[in-house]
Amino acid sequence: MRMFLALAVALALPAAPAFAADAPAAAEPAPICTTTTVVVRQGDVVLSSDTKTKCAKAGEGGGLDLNIDGGAVGGALGGLLSAPKFDVGAAGGEWRTVQQGSPRVCVMTMLRKPGPKGRGVRTQGCVGALAGAKTWTLENDAAVLHSDAGAPIVRLTGDHIRLEGRLDDGTDVVLKR
């Protein structure tokens, strides 16, 4: 009786390969990823940097596009996993944009210290509505730029690296660090 049980167990188990060459192939090949970084500069000023990673299975076209902002890539990995809270600290500071129809870089500094009409804005090289920005306020997770008279110019949303909004005339505004 003992011999029968031992034989039954031996038949139920697959035989181990005698050589490494007889071992089964890996179930799925590792994906192949390509990362491309594009840096937009005007003179010595970096206007933006974006990184795009595309991964695909070996031997297949297509893949998964991951669009990761270059500033986040340069930061700690933890910054990619949890978005920082959008607050005065995230919105305040120096921002850059190139305005449509202007060859110059618009540099906008959003001051963190509050004043009587809100927090101050300093502009350099800006034209049109953005040149008229004098103060900003934080309203419902958005930075709102105001004219000297207090009229809203643009409502900007985003994070500590990129802010986006639209002027009344329909012009898109993108500010980057």
Domain ranges of the chain: 28-82, 88-176
pLDDT at 3 over 50: no
Q: Which residue has the higher pLDDT, 20 or 41?
A: 41
Looking at residue 45, what is its pLDDT?
60
Looking at residue 46, what is its pLDDT?
63
Q: Which of 25-29, 52-56, 161-165 has the lowest mean pLDDT?
A: 25-29
pLDDT at 70 over 70: no
Mean pLDDT of 150-173: 93
Looking at residue 93, what is its pLDDT?
93
How far is 94 from 114, CA to CA, in rounded Å?
16
Residue 31 burial (CB count, 10 A): 13
Residue 101 burial (CB count, 10 A): 8
pLDDT band at 32 (very low <50, low <70, confident <90, very high): confident
How far is 95 from 48, CA to CA, in rounded Å?
11
pLDDT band at 26 (very low <50, low <70, confident <90, very high): low
Q: Is the pTM of this model over 0.85?
A: no
Domain 88-176 class in CATH: mainly beta
Classify 6 as helix, strand or coil.
Answer: helix
Looking at residue 118, what is its pLDDT?
84
**Per-residue pLDDT reduced to its tens digit, 100-158:** 878 889 999 999 998 888 899 999 999 999 999 999 998 988 999 999 999 999 999 99
| CA distance readout (Å), 58 to 51, 62, 65 | 22, 11, 15
Looking at residue 109, what is its pLDDT?
96
Q: What percent of the chain has pLDDT over 70?
A: 59
pLDDT at 25 over 90: no
